[in-house]
A and B are shown apart, each in its own frame.
Chain A
């Protein structure tokens, strides 16, 4: 594997077509109309607004026509105070996730992974874990901001993330990660292929093909294809071993969450590295125990801010997942607590956010 160059010229034809959020949204509409799940839209402006609705055009979520078109046509109140406030809260937390967590982690990840030859396996492993968190904070942060903008304007968009790293299996992960894409793939690829209403082997094949297409959607590179295939294979293995759900109590759940996180983390290495050989070398380095166990730590000024961002994100996601009624801050009954939260989050963004010229990771897809 090492020393070979992996190019995928055969897929470059797909680039001009633009396998993107925009195309998937339009394709979904086309199939819905074809299969008579959705009436054809006769008003061109309404259709044009649906496919090019500005908050979601760059990086999703991929909205279904059945969700958006009725909202565009409905007579709605001119302004909904509650919705607008909810929308602004989503934008604020989304921005925190993006600039305080994701972009700060990016400083470490972008130092270590492109130059993995200079760093120990432990540093590469830490960088891969941080990338796993970075891509979540980046993409979920963007999606939350898109949803928030929509909500402020009075539109409900598709929920895209539901705390994916608390998933108990890779199958569960895909119910929580990029929900609009996995729903699209399920509705327009997996189910038309036969879904699970077929033989067991055919079902496994359907899962594999669905995630192979998911990989191809992300880019014309073998790394994305391997990433998609890995996710397909993990889910097939879970299905064979009946490990899609968790029936092991609290400790078992914690173990399953950790195992799922590590599997997803392993697959992200392929997603992040520019070529298969690079991904292979990074993994090889992680498991090279002859290297010292030292971790590169960028102490000043990144470490405290990295810890701060990750801790706050973890607490928020943990609370939302396991005890949503406890410790409400942005939704507290007391005005001063709500306002203190808004102000301190904004201050954190200004003081600890990485406000450079970083692009959203998923803007590339």
Chain B
């Protein structure tokens, strides 16, 4: 028994040493990355100092031409949208950002599935936050998503779980995705009809929507943090159109907090207009520019700071 316990102890000591060494190596590697998603993430969390910031999912990332907004409003702009991510990541990023910079305008692209509807595993929203775990306020996001993350995050290797290979390739082989133009990553692919879903899946009745209390709580926390910043919620165009019943809780929050909600989701100019879309959910580069123009027009009407 004593031998067994001693060997288990030795195994843990060796594992802790390896874990720490890999963690240090990965931290160094990650800091070297100059292009792609990690570099963009580092820039958003550590450097960005623009006046207008855009948050949201891939629909934010691909739909908002930051340069056009910047040129039209006379304010610098950066697109902080992230594919597959919603309010939980956005809150974490905002928290890190506010430590050193207060933007004048925040635009939040609403993606119900990622921002407040129940469903799916919230762990996926932590992916980009793992490397910032030690930053103020970030650790509690992990604990709120899953109490066991408190223990998992003790491992340095776990912080680079699933991302280490990508980071090594980006840092040393310099192969990575485009960082984008001020964070905006337009989709230049033609319309892919294979990626258009069965329309019926989008038209559910009002009662069938279930809300995720965790996401809702982060939604409110996000708004608490942006209370002194001019904030806009936007639902950008979607090829299918949208059942507006899904926006009910957001509209209520917007009314309570006096936040403009700009809904382009059923704009006839875009619905089923394949020339503006790359797939059922995402505008292509042409559509993104057109939508950004329409958005700027509305923002100007709403007395957006300039």
Residue of chain A at shortest CB distance from B152: A355
Task: Evaluate contact between A79 and B158: CB separation under 8 angstroms.
Answer: no
Checking A84, A351, A358 against B161 with a beta-carbon cut-off of 8 angstroms, the contacting residue is A351
A355 to B121, CA, bound (A): 11
Q: How far is the CB of A88 from chain B (nearest CB, A)?
A: 8
A358 to B123, CA, bound (A): 10
A355 to B56, CA, bound (A): 25
A79 to B4, CA, bound (A): 10
Q: Which of B39-47, B65-73, B163-171, B290-298 contacts A (4 or more CB under 8 A)?
A: B163-171
CB-CB under 8 A for A79 and B1, given A120-B194, A356-B123: yes
A339 to B17, CA, bound (A): 14
- Which A residues lie within 8 Å of B19 (CB)? 347, 350
The verdict on A353 contacting chain B, using a C-beta distance below 8 Å, is yes
A342 to B162, CA, bound (A): 20
- Which B residues lie within 8 Å of A117 (CB)? 197-198
Q: How far is the CB of A230 from chain B (nearest CB, A)?
A: 27
Residue of chain B at shortest CB distance from A152: B4
Q: How far is the CB of B172 from chain A (nearest CB, A)?
A: 15
Residue of chain A at shortest CB distance from B8: A88
Residue of chain B at shortest CB distance from A115: B197
- Which B residues lie within 8 Å of A79 (CB)? 1, 4
The verdict on A194 contacting chain B, using a C-beta distance below 8 Å, is no
Q: How far is the CB of A199 from chain B (nearest CB, A)?
A: 50
The verdict on B252 contacting chain A, using a C-beta distance below 8 Å, is no
- Which B residues lie within 8 Å of A192 (CB)? none
Within 8 A of B (CB), among A78-95: 78-79, 81, 84-85
How many inter-chain residue pairs (CB < 8 Å) link A and B? Answer: 68
Q: 1/0 contact trace for A296-338 toward B, CB 8 Å?
A: 0000110011000000000000000000000000000000000
Task: Evaluate contact between B160 and A351: CB separation under 8 angstroms.
Answer: yes
Task: Evaluate contact between B194 and A352: CB separation under 8 angstroms.
Answer: no
A352 to B157, CA, bound (A): 9
Task: Evaluate contact between B1 and A343: CB separation under 8 angstroms.
Answer: no
Q: How far is the CB of A362 from chain B (nearest CB, A)?
A: 19
The verdict on B299 contacting chain A, using a C-beta distance below 8 Å, is no
- Which A residues lie within 8 Å of B160 (CB)? 351
Q: How far is the CB of B20 from chain A (nearest CB, A)?
A: 12
CB-CB under 8 A for A347 and B162, given A79-B4, A85-B4, A356-B121: no
Task: Evaluate contact between B165 and A118: CB separation under 8 angstroms.
Answer: no
Within 8 A of A (CB), among B88-130: 121, 123-124
Task: Evaluate contact between B157 and A347: CB separation under 8 angstroms.
Answer: yes
- Which A residues lie within 8 Å of B166 (CB)? 300-301
- Which A residues lie within 8 Å of B22 (CB)? 347, 351
Task: Evaluate contact between A118 and B194: CB separation under 8 angstroms.
Answer: yes
A343 to B15, CA, bound (A): 7
| Most chain B beta carbons < 10 A, residue from A120, A339, A342, A356 | A356
The verdict on A364 contacting chain B, using a C-beta distance below 8 Å, is no
The verdict on B24 contacting chain A, using a C-beta distance below 8 Å, is no
- Which A residues lie within 8 Å of B197 (CB)? 115, 117-118
- Which A residues lie within 8 Å of B157 (CB)? 347, 350-351
A351 to B15, CA, bound (A): 13
- Which B residues lie within 8 Å of A350 (CB)? 19, 155, 157-158, 161
Q: How far is the CB of B157 from chain A (nearest CB, A)?
A: 4
Say which size band chain A's interface belongs to. 20 to 34
Q: How far is the CB of A284 from chain B (nearest CB, A)?
A: 15
Q: How far is the CB of A338 from chain B (nearest CB, A)?
A: 11
Task: Evaluate contact between A301 and B162: CB separation under 8 angstroms.
Answer: yes
Task: Evaluate contact between B4 and A357: CB separation under 8 angstroms.
Answer: no
A343 to B1, CA, bound (A): 21
Task: Evaluate contact between A352 and B4: CB separation under 8 angstroms.
Answer: no
Q: How far is the CB of A344 from chain B (nearest CB, A)?
A: 9
Within 8 A of A (CB), among B159-208: 160-166, 177, 194-198
Within 8 A of A (CB), among B122-167: 123-124, 146, 152, 155, 157-158, 160-166
Within 8 A of A (CB), among B22-53: 22
CB-CB under 8 A for A304 and B165, given A118-B194, A350-B155: yes
Q: How far is the CB of B245 from chain A (nearest CB, A)?
A: 22
Q: How far is the CB of A259 from chain B (nearest CB, A)?
A: 31
- Which A residues lie within 8 Å of B18 (CB)? 343, 347
- Which B residues lie within 8 Å of A339 (CB)? 11, 14
The verdict on A346 contacting chain B, using a C-beta distance below 8 Å, is yes
- Which A residues lie within 8 Å of B4 (CB)? 79, 81, 84-85
A85 to B11, CA, bound (A): 12
The verdict on B3 contacting chain A, using a C-beta distance below 8 Å, is yes
Q: How far is the CB of B278 from chain A (nearest CB, A)?
A: 14
Residue of chain B at shortest CB distance from A79: B1
- Which B residues lie within 8 Å of A118 (CB)? 194-197
| Most chain B beta carbons < 10 A, residue from A346, A351, A352, A356 | A351
- Which B residues lie within 8 Å of A346 (CB)? 15
Q: How far is the CB of A309 from chain B (nearest CB, A)?
A: 12
Q: How far is the CB of B17 from chain A (nearest CB, A)?
A: 10
Q: How far is the CB of B167 from chain A (nearest CB, A)?
A: 10
Q: How far is the CB of A123 from chain B (nearest CB, A)?
A: 10
Task: Evaluate contact between B1 and A351: CB separation under 8 angstroms.
Answer: no
| Most chain A beta carbons < 10 A, residue from B14, B165, B196 | B165
Q: How far is the CB of A111 from chain B (nearest CB, A)?
A: 11
6 residue pairs, one from A and one from B, having the closest CB atoms: A350-B157, A356-B123, A79-B1, A301-B162, A117-B198, A301-B166
30 contacts between A and B (CB under 8 A): A79-B4, A81-B1, A85-B4, A117-B197, A118-B195, A292-B194, A294-B194, A300-B166, A300-B177, A301-B165, A304-B165, A305-B162, A305-B165, A339-B11, A343-B18, A346-B15, A347-B18, A347-B22, A350-B155, A350-B157, A350-B158, A350-B161, A351-B22, A351-B164, A352-B162, A353-B161, A355-B152, A356-B121, A357-B121, A357-B123
Q: Which residues of A contact B (CB under 8 A)?
A: 78-79, 81, 84-85, 115, 117-120, 292, 294, 300-301, 304-305, 339, 342-343, 346-347, 350-358
A301-B166, A354-B162 known; 11 new pairs, CB 8 Å cut-off, are A79-B4, A81-B1, A342-B11, A343-B15, A347-B15, A347-B157, A350-B157, A350-B161, A351-B164, A356-B123, A356-B124
